[in-house]
Amino acid sequence: MKQGRGSCRAATPPAVLGLVGLRAGGGVPGSASPAEAILSLGGLLVLLIGAWARGHRPALTASWLTLAAGAAALWSAPVPPASSPFFGLILCDPFSLAFRWLALGTLAIVLLLASASRELAAAVRGECYGLLLLLGVGLMLMAEANHLLMAYLAMELVSLSSYVLVGFLRERRSAEAALKYLLFGALSSGIMLFGMSLLFGLTGSLAFPDLQAAVAGTGGPMARALLVAAALMLAGLAFKISMVPFHMWTPDVYEGAPAAVTALLSVGPKAAGLALLLRLLEALAPLWASLSPLLLALTVVTMTLGNLVALVQTNVKRLLAYSTIGQVGYLLIGLAVHTRVGHEALLVYLVAYLFMNLGAFACVVAVMNGTGSEALEAFRGLARRAPGLSLAFAVFLLSLAGIPPLLGFVGKFLLLGSALDAGEVALAVAAAVNSAIALYYYTNIIRLMYFAPPAQAEPLSPSPSPALRLALGSCAAATLALGLWPGPLLELISRLAVVRLL
Amino acid sequence: MSVRLILLLSHALFALGVYGVLTRRHAIGLLLSIELILNAAALNFVLFSRAFGHVEAQAFALFIIALAACEAVVGLAIVIGLARHAHTVFADQVDLLKG
């Protein structure tokens, strides 16, 4: 780690080459990120195949091959306790490994959804897969970033791919959502960048470990200037994870985007953004005393606002958007308590959130394929038209609400436990009250599916395709099985969560 | 020019950009204002890299220029899509999604 940083300043050009993955594995001691190189090259290749080949099948096959090769590379790469290849731009430690697997898992399920969704025209679907893979690379790099430049580049890679993906449908709502996302996103990344430049001006360092040392040594009026710079920078990240008061874009963008893309946006960037936020806060740790009251307050406001506004929604994608804001509020607990237990709980809840939220979106895709509607009314009497699908959706919603014995309960239990453990009783109470509020709108959908008479009696057609069944089945199985036997997952995560993040 | 003067310039650019984002209605005007903010940050990086003799920050400024171009490409593509499907390029007429 020291070595990488030491050679950093003199050797900027090779570091630049390293960014595009050209030097992956070559020459740099301790380098271990061929997975990102495979995914980025594969993503570019899939974009080309998607543009030239007829139909989306060749691009889909290439994407699965790329994803499998990336997973194999990640599986076989040795994980040293911590190494920072590419001249300290990224940090490979067990913590980032966990987030890289989360990104790959999200990508795999979203690929299933995108290939099964009838919304996306077959002619452009190939390009959609390529952009998804590139977005996945951005997610991995966000979790690994150990340098302000890498943090910015990774976030922009995620943002630029998602702006395009949101606007993928050839209709007005999708174009509007893309414009809103672009304008809000570009503004917030500009503000974040300005904050980074001020931070650099005040400390003279860009790498996170140097930054931490420099921040610790700053006092007097400069410390107040540092707070301003940190606030500007954190605002950009808060936008990415839709934390109040930077959440306004979320419902509009989630409603206008294709359902598969909404599924990705509600999980991938949230997980990666939380990882980056955790590392940045660690780099700014000397300011923690000033930042933590604000973070605690925003955590409570985020979950309360998300859950309250979700109560009155009539469009299922919009409802899940507000539910996402509420869930981000729960996730922020793990960050706000700033303990190892909190970090572990955050990771467990992220795994749970991945399966239950992507599963819920798989159900939305299935219903949209069958009815063409995304209104809550489309779920009326669904239990009689598609019993299996309704059962799976009920499982995901109950897990999101945190009902035992599902995986969502395990995660939420650990988060509340970590809040109590850190002495933040008010935070735990707020989260518990919010869970009760959230239960209302989640169970309302279940009531519609099971107890309301259907508008049509015939079975949902077409019934979910094999890809969709696979996504639904694996998410439901994971939510149930890991909820009943959480032991192995908890043990794995207790080995991956680390105290030292830099 | 002194460091103080250039800092004043970069902050003025940033303020102009934010003011533009808040007042413009035309999508392209909004994109231009955001560009001002990015350039204010790039100017800061160049200034500080000279002050500290820090090479990495200059690379940062170059990356900002490249990414600003990418953002303009994606932004203009989205504006063209909007003009095709919604027949407008004014941000205040983008009002189908709400609630």
Partners of A191 on chain B (C-beta within 8 Å) are: 18, 37
Ordered structural domains, chain B, with CATH: 3-85 (1.10.287.3510)
The whole-chain average pLDDT of chain A stands at 87
Give the per-residue pLDDT at A31.
Answer: 44
Q: Tens of pLDDT along A220-253? A: 788 888 999 999 999 989 999 999 899 999 999 9
A183·B91 Cβ contact <8 A? yes
pLDDT > 50? residue A39: yes
Which candidate in B23, B36, B54, B56 is best for mutational testing of the A interface (most A CBs within 10 A)?
B56
Give the model's pLDDT for residue A498: 67
Q: With bands split at pLDDT 50, 70 and 90, how would you rate the model's confidence at B99?
A: low
DSSP letter assigned to residue A270: H
**% of chain A residues with pLDDT over 70:** 92
pLDDT tens readout for residues A327-341: 999 999 999 998 889
End-to-end, the C-alpha distance of chain B in Å comes to 51
Residue A30 contacts residue A80 (beta carbons within 8 Å): yes
Q: Which of A352, A351, A442 is nearest to A397 (CA)?
A: A442
DSSP A19-49: HTTTTTTSSSTT---HHHHHHHHHHHHHHHH
Q: Which residues pair with A92 in a beta bridge?
A: A83
pLDDT tens figures, B32-81: 999 999 999 999 999 999 988 888 899 999 999 999 999 999 999 999 99
Report, as an integer, the average pLDDT of A189-207: 93
B13 touches chain A (CB under 8 A): no
pLDDT at residue A457, as a whole number: 78
Q: In this complex, do B41 and A149 lie within 8 Å of one another by their Cβ atoms?
A: no
Token code pair at residue A454: 């259907």
> Is the Cβ pair A201, B48 closer than 8 Å?
yes
The residue of chain A with its CA nearest to that of B87 is A172
pLDDT per position as a tens digit, A266-315:
999 999 999 999 999 989 988 888 889 999 999 999 999 999 999 999 99
Half-sphere exposure of A351 (CA within 13 A, CB side): 27
In a mutagenesis test of the B interface, which of A200, A250, A262 is the best target, namely the one with the most B β-carbons within 10 Å? A200
Query: How far, in Å, are A254, A318, A355 from residue A251 at the CA level?
Result: 5, 5, 21
Residues of chain A contacting residue B84, judged by C-beta atoms under 8 Å apart:
175
Confidence of residue A8 (pLDDT cuts 50, 70, 90): very low
Identify which of A9, A152, A160 has the shortest CB distance to residue B71.
A160
How far apart (Å, rounded) are the C-alpha atoms in residues A193 and A198?
9
Q: Given an 8 Å threshold on Cβ–Cβ distance, is A204 in contact with B52?
A: yes
Neighbours of A433 (CB within 10 A): 14
Cβ-based contacts of A197 with chain B (< 8 Å): 10, 41-42, 44-45, 48
Q: Render B12-44 in DSSP notation, one character per residue.
A: HHHHHHHHHHHH--BHHHHHHHHHHHHHHHHHH
For the whole model, what pTM was predicted? 0.90
Look at residue B67 in the predicted model and tell me its pLDDT.
Answer: 95
Q: Is the pLDDT of residue A46 over 60?
A: yes
Please compute the mean of the pLDDT values over residues A195-223 and round it to a whole number: 89
- The C-alpha of B82 sits at a distance from chain A's nearest C-alpha, in angstroms, of 5
Tell if the CB–CB gap between B86 and A198 is shorter than 8 Å. Answer: no
Residue A415 pLDDT class (50, 70, 90 cuts): very high
Radius of gyration of chain A (CA): 22
Assembly ipTM = 0.95
A440: pLDDT confidence band, cut at 50, 70 and 90? very high
Q: How far is B23 from chain A (nearest CA, A)?
A: 13
The nearest CA of chain B is from the CA of A226 a distance in Å of: 15
Distance from CA of B1 to the nearest CA of A (A): 17
